[in-house]
């Protein structure tokens, strides 16, 4: 069964926004914990976060509370948590007949929770738990989605949005590190540095999985964490694994075998993955991690556009049955 193109678009963006809300929370949290171990001027602490979120016109102060307020609650900021939750919920509202009632009710419940004083209260009382709550929202929503909605095409579009956004966001979280501690080579491998990398891992829920396989004789901690978050084949938030999951959903929609990409988004995905599969962390670090992460983020941007051309904004007369 095919899906109305507009509906597919809403599915895609519903889960992208939700994933984005979660990852903003993760980034805010990691940045906050990084700062516990570093002494930097406020602007240097928070400016990177703005850069990786694509915000260039922030007018407020770089005082910690001001930035977190802006990134959490400001609905004029298109990358704030509140904006993303609102957008996810609005996409869901428009396609309530497509998603399951359970999904809608849970999402609406969280939306109301944020609108209400309860969300604000938790934010004021326990910032850490507030950001954790954003993760829980998504975990629960994904669980409900998988358990209550038929795994047809609309579901695949939800999957695509989720994994594409996740790949992009994991790359961005790693990139915060690059921006916060501009290559100060003398710090590499120092205890403070290691604490930072642990913070990043924790923010990606990767602390335990990472330690199950890390061997300090093989690699510097810093390189190993980047390796893990970019390349790990089985960790669910690594860039590569997220892109593979994305690819699975993408091909489930067209029915083309994964080995035979036939349309633009499939070809672009295959290229990106081929590049990742053939790259090694040492090389990436050599070229500059930031440049490689930027390539990932930019390609993901292009992918979004290609999906739109292929499935959403289809020029119908071209494909009319005769």
Partner 1 sequence: MSSQMMTLGAMTMSQGHVPASLFSNYKLHPKAWDELFDLSCAAHPHCHAVVERLGKLGLTEFQDRRTSADLEFMNQGITFSVYADRRGVEKIFPFDLIPRIVSGSEWVRVEKGLRQRITALNMFLYDVYHDQRILKEKIVPEDLVLRSKGFRKEMIGFTPAQKQYIHVVGTDLIRDDKGEFVVLEDNARTPSGVSYVCENRIVMKKVFPQLFRDSAVRRVEDYPQRLRESLFSVAPDGRDDYPNVVLLSPGSYNSAYFEHSFLARHMGIELVLGADLFVHKDIVYLKTTKGPERVDVIYRRLDDDFLDPETFRKDSLLGVPGLFRAYRAGNVTLANAVGTGVADDKAVYPFVEDMVRFYLTEEPILRNVPTHICARPKDLAYTLAHLEELVVKPVNESGGYGMLMGPSSTSAERAAFRVKIQADPRNYIAQPVVTLSTSPTWTEEGVAPRHVDLRPYIVSGKTTWVLPGGLTRTALVKGSLVVNSSQGGGSKDTWVLEDR
Residues that bind partner 1 (CB under 8 A): 2-8, 75, 86, 90, 93-97, 101, 104-105, 108-109, 112, 115, 153, 253, 311-312, 314, 316-317, 319-321
User: For partner 1, which is the closer residue by CB, 217 or 315?
Assistant: 315
User: For partner 1, which is the closer residue by CB, 235 or 246?
Assistant: 246
User: For partner 1, which is the closer residue by CB, 191 or 255?
Assistant: 255
Compute the least distance from the CB of residue 98 to partner 1, in Å: 8
CA dist 274 and 199 (Å) reads: 29
Closest C-alpha to 81, from 120, 149, 24, 154? 24
User: For partner 1, which is the closer residue by CB, 182 or 320?
Assistant: 320
Q: Are 230 and 201 in contact (CB under 8 A)?
A: no
Compute the least distance from the CB of residue 14 to partner 1, in Å: 13
Compute the least distance from the CB of residue 125 to partner 1, in Å: 21
Alpha helices in 232-280 (DSSP H): 239-254, 264-278
CA dist 265 and 164 (Å) reads: 12
User: For partner 1, which is the closer residue by CB, 65 or 97?
Assistant: 97
Q: Tokens 């962390």 belong to which residue?
A: 281
Compute the least distance from the CB of residue 251 to partner 1, in Å: 14
Compute the least distance from the CB of residue 210 to partner 1, in Å: 38
User: Which residues does 100 contact at the CB level (< 8 Å), separation at least 6?
Assistant: 144, 145, 148, 149
CA dist 108 and 44 (Å) reads: 37
């Amino acid at each position: 069964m095919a899906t109305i193109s507009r509906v597919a678009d809403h599915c895609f963006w519903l889960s992208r926004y939700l994933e984005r809300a979660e990852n903003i929370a993760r980034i805010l949290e990691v940045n906050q914990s990084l700062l516990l171990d570093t002494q930097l001027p406020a602007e240097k602490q928070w400016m990177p976060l703005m850069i990786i979120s694509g915000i260039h016109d922030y007018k407020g102060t770089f005082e910690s509370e001001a930035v977190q307020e802006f990134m959490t609650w400001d609905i004029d900021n298109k990358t704030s948590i509140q904006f993303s939750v609102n957008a996810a919920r609005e996409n869901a509202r428009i396609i309530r007949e497509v998603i399951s009632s359970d999904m809608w009710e849970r999402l609406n419940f969280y939306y109301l929770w944020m609108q209400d004083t309860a969300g604000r209260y938790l934010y004021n009382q326990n910032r850490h738990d507030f950001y954790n709550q954003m993760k829980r929202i998504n975990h629960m929503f994904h669980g409900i989605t998988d358990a209550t909605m038929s795994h047809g095409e609309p579901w695949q579009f939800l999957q695509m949005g989720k994994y594409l956004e996740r790949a992009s966001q994991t790359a961005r979280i790693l990139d915060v590190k690059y921006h916060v501690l501009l290559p100060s080579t003398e710090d590499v491998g120092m205890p403070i540095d290691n604490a930072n990398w642990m913070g990043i891992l924790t923010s990606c829920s990767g602390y335990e999985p990472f330690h199950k396989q890390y061997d300090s004789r093989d690699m510097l901690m810093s390189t190993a964490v980047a390796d893990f978050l970019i390349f790990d084949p089985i960790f669910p938030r690594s860039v590569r694994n997220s892109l593979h999951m994305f690819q699975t959903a993408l091909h489930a929609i067209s029915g083309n075998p994964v080995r035979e990409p036939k349309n633009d988004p499939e070809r672009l995905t295959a290229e990106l993955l081929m590049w990742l599969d053939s790259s090694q962390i040492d090389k990436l670090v050599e070229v500059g991690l930031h440049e490689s992460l930027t390539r990932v983020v930019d390609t993901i941007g292009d992918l979004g556009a290609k999906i739109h051309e292929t499935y959403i904004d289809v020029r119908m007369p071209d494909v009319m049955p005769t």
